[in-house]
Amino acid sequence: MINLERKEKLRNQMIRLEAYNEIQNQMGRFTAAINYKEMKCMSFFSNEREDVSLEYADEGIFVGREAIQTFLSESIGKGYEEGELIDFQLTTPIIEVAKDVKSARAVWWSPGITSLAKENNNPQPIWLWGEVAVDFVYENGQWLILHLHYFRTVKCDYHKGWVEDTSMINRPNIPMHPLAQPTTYHNPYHSKAIRYGIPAAPYAYETEDGANWMLRNDKTK
Amino acid sequence: MITIEDLDVLEEDEFAELERRIETQIAIWEIKNLRGRMAIFHDDQHIGEPRLELKAIHHPSFDVEGEMNFRKTPVVDSLEGNMLIHPITTPIIEVNKDNSKARGLWWSIGIEGLSKFRETPMAIWSVGMIPGVHVKEKDGWKILSGMWQRTTKNEFHAGWVEDMQPTNTRPQISKEEDRARLGKYAYQKNEKRKSISQPPYPDTWEKYPDELDQTWQEMK
């Protein structure tokens, strides 16, 4: 017999199915905004959660909209210079919507390239491969980013390749951004380093409880 | 598991709304498959072999004669050594309310082998985007418009800063002609990158209801 419980279950299944595609659309639009160096990328972050965060490689974790906006504004806010290029792409989506359909966890593998402008010289072509792990929350009719962590795998000169050139895998030894909190995980490819399955693939879960699932396979913790 | 009896008791409007929402999700799935099939056809260039029609040739705007001429015109002497592998990534697909039209944007990262006159093939590495419009015809979703928009295409060892390969055509078009076509928004070391193509947003069909209107791809 059809009852409220079954109606609720059907509704949840429908929302989960729609979420699977809506989240890919949202993350694609976010990636487009980053690739085009547009500050509308901020519109994809949660407006309601104080713990909204962005962690990028070993630049630290930026918590709160103000910190994220500052970091992104300084990174991409000036738009393109001649010869610059950012091209992240998203593949291999693994998306899990919480049983309570209020949040979702996702991981993408991201191949990409960039060109770094050089004064009085040709731009430098660079490989840029990594993984993106994201917590989404449903706010006012759309899925928004609660936590985003970009895990760098490869950043190297295109011509030298990732085995020979490890000069860009870690940030230079200059002060961290004053708004950055300590990096939670950074293990880019290096010929002397060992790989781990991090970020972990999200599994089915009940309700949103933080971003620790991304580091589930971190054996140092 | 939902049974027929369960669906029997839904009100007419509840049932119709459920139908519409499920059809939207299936449309996104089918359009992803459609573009995947197109990517395979891109690599499989056997002229004249019968194949499933993927394009919206019944749409009144579609240039059927131009399309058929394009398909029967070889651009290499032999398929030996030629390859066009362009996996498509980053799908963003927005379907209109009655599930009859859809706009999409994909990225792509690809490798190619090019041998025009049976010479040793050139290894090519390329990155690009595919903005497209799709319509539902009697036998399913079809591609109305949207083709490759190059970001980079370079001889593998040279890299994209030093090299830009034009689209292979016969007769070969000049670099200037190529810039006006598929290379219009391609990376150039002496230029600033343009923010085209923009992805479709959920309100794309309210803002641009005409499927022939391509301005949805432009920065607003």
Give the closest-approach CA distance of A178 to chain B in angstroms: 30
Strand, coil or helix: what is A136? Answer: strand
Q: Do B21 and A29 touch (CB under 8 A)?
A: no
Measured between beta carbons, the chain B residues lying within 8 angstroms of A29 are 92, 199, 201
- Residue by residue, pLDDT tens for chain A (221 residues) are 667 787 778 888 888 999 999 999 999 999 999 999 999 999 999 999 999 999 999 999 999 999 999 999 999 999 999 999 999 999 999 999 999 999 999 999 999 999 999 988 999 999 999 999 999 999 999 999 999 999 999 999 999 999 999 999 999 999 999 999 999 999 999 999 999 999 999 999 999 999 999 999 987 77
Q: Going from the N-terminus, what domains does chain B have, and what CATH number goes with each?
A: 9-217 (3.10.450.50)
**Neighbouring-strand partners of residue A32:** none
Q: With 60 as the cut, is the pLDDT of residue B1 above it?
A: no
Q: Do A115 and B187 touch (CB under 8 A)?
A: yes
Measured between beta carbons, the chain A residues lying within 8 angstroms of B201 are 29
Cα separation, B2 vs A201, in Å, equals: 30
Quote the mean pLDDT of chain B: 94
CB–CB contacts below 8 A, A to B: 104
Give the closest-approach CA distance of A221 to chain B in angstroms: 33
Residue A183 gets which letter from DSSP? P
Burial B93-123, CB ≥16 within 10 A → b, else e: bbbbeebebbbbbbbbbbebbbbbeeeebbe
Q: With 70 as the cut, is the pLDDT of residue B2 above it?
A: no
Q: Do A85 and B187 touch (CB under 8 A)?
A: yes
Residues 6+ positions from B37 with CB-CB distance below 8 Å: B52, B54
Cα separation, A219 vs B46, in Å, equals: 52
Rg (CA), chain B: 20
- Smallest CA–CA distance from A112 into chain B, residue: B109
Best residue in B21, B30, B109, B161 for a mutation probing chain A (most A CBs within 10 Å) = B161
CA A154 to chain centre: 15
Q: With 80 as the cut, is the pLDDT of residue B154 above it?
A: yes
Q: What is the pLDDT of residues A44-73, one digit of tens each?
A: 999 999 999 999 999 999 999 999 999 999
* Reported pTM: 0.94
Peptide bond into A199 cis (omega under 30): yes
Q: What is the pLDDT of residues B33-59, one digit of tens each?
A: 999 999 998 888 899 988 899 999 999
Pair A39, B209: CB distance under 8 Å: no
Q: Point out the residue among A6, A36, A89 whose CB comes nearest to the CB of B90.
A: A89
Range scoring the smallest mean pLDDT among B93-97, B111-115, B174-178? B174-178
* Average pLDDT score over residue span B9-15: 82
